[in-house]
Amino acid sequence: MSDSKPINPGDALKALLPPLALARLGALRLADGAASVVLDVSGLDALERERLELAVKEALGGAPGVKEVRVAMTADKVSRKIIAVGSGKGGVGKSTLSANLAVALARLGRKVGLVDADIYGPSQPRLMMVEGRKPAARDSKMIPIQSPYGVGVLSMGMLIEPDKAIAWRGPMASNALGQLIDADWGNTEILIVDLPPGTGDVQLTMLQRHKPAGAVIVSTPQDLALIDAKRAMQLFEQAGVPIIGMVENMAGYVCPHCGEVSDPFGSGGAEATAEQLGESFLGRIPLTITIREQSDAGTPSAAGDGPEGQAFMAIARRVATWLDNQ
């Protein structure tokens, strides 16, 4: 009489799993031809989870006795912080700062996502080189488009036909914002939200339903822009959202031929305003043709090590330090 024990069907199936699935296996059970697999997918983004599920189904789908493979996924809840990037008026470079801040934080090792909530001029698809791509959905949630810079991106512009104006009333814009923020962001830790200019419906929805951990205010140095920037700061403060600091954009024009610096928009206004209001000054970004060319080409300056990229990296380090101290 043999002393050998029959092979457990679950153990036999485990031997077929790929190494990553085996390392994340929570439970495996075979009953009535259905193989039920529970995986811990903490730290994986949406694309990595999808690939893992497909690998498990492919590995077990042809096993003896298996007619169906069911995969359940569990994950530790990610503590995600929303950083709102706002301004009182348009044309101050808020979207450019948002894109470069996201890329710079990713270069610092942070897991970053970028939401383009500007319904009037969604520009992040061009800035982040994801133009023309549409997000897929999983379990009724959008899956962010992965940019070449390690940052997931979702934009209002991805929800409409190309080159068509967005003519939405307040509730429509608010609902769209909710879809973007409540998307399947996976292991994203920091969500940068590029807000439209002003203090309208999108900003109010953000404050009421998706309260940011903090806000970065962008302004050019001239008085008119600073007046509007103060209004944006007041809105966040009234909602109990801390101001991380102010950024002065287009702080000086550097001539590409002679290198001379001039100040067509003035200089130092944002820094002086921050000091006057008791807020932090995060840094200034120069007005250079390089930033314009790189933005149009979908290659954010923060992805490189030129002087423009270094300016964005310095701001990102201050933002990261602020987050770490919260």
Instruction: Delimit the domains of the chain by residue range.
Output: 14-74, 81-324
Domain 14-74 shares a fold with domain 81-324:
no
**Domain 81-324 top-level CATH class:** alpha beta
Q: What is the pLDDT of residue 79?
A: 74
CA distance 320 to 192: 12
Q: At residue 258, does pLDDT exceed 80?
A: no
- The residue ranking higher by pLDDT, 89 or 319, is 319
pLDDT given at position 11? 77
Q: How far is CA 320 from CA 85, 246, 316, in A?
A: 14, 14, 6
Q: Contact 123/100 with Cβ under 8 angstroms? A: no
Mean pLDDT is highest, among 132-136, 166-170, 188-192, for 188-192
Q: Is-contact 158 133, C-beta < 8 A?
A: yes
* CATH number, domain 14-74, options 3.30.300.130, 1.10.10.10, 3.30.420.40, 3.30.559.10: 3.30.300.130
What pLDDT score does 5 carry? 47
Contact yes or no for 89/195 (Cβ under 8 A): no
Token pair 């990229």 is at which residue? 309
Residue with tokens 């200034």: 284
pTM for the full predicted model: 0.77
Q: For 21-68, how does the pLDDT look when each residue is reduced to its tens digit (9 = 90+)?
A: 889 998 888 888 888 899 988 878 777 888 899 999 999 988 888 899
pLDDT at 70 over 80: yes
Residue 132 main-chain phi, psi, to 5 deg: 85, -5
